[in-house]
Amino acid sequence: MTSKFIGAHVSASGSVGNAILNAEAIGANAFALFTRNQRSWVSKPLPQLEIDGRASRC
C-alpha cells in the first residue's frame, strides 16, 4: 500500500516560519507556502535567523 499525503497552503502571516506552526495546528503532515509575493519578483532576503528557525521547526 502506498502512503498518500494531503497538504494545504497555510498562512505565513507575521513570519515565513509561522507556516510550519500553522500546518501543525491543523494536523497537516505536508504543506505549501509562498515565500514571496507571486505578483512581484522584488522582496527582501530572509534573515539567517529565520532560515535556521524554520529548519529546526521542520
Predicted pLDDT at 19: 82
- Mean pLDDT in runs of 10 for the chain (58 residues)? 72 78 85 73 76 72
Predicted pLDDT at 1: 65
Rounded (to 5) percent helix, strand, coil in the chain: 30, 5, 60
Look at the pTM and tell me if it is higher than 0.75: no
In this structure, what DSSP letter does residue 27 have?
Answer: T
Please say whether the beta carbons of 12 and 18 come within 8 A. yes
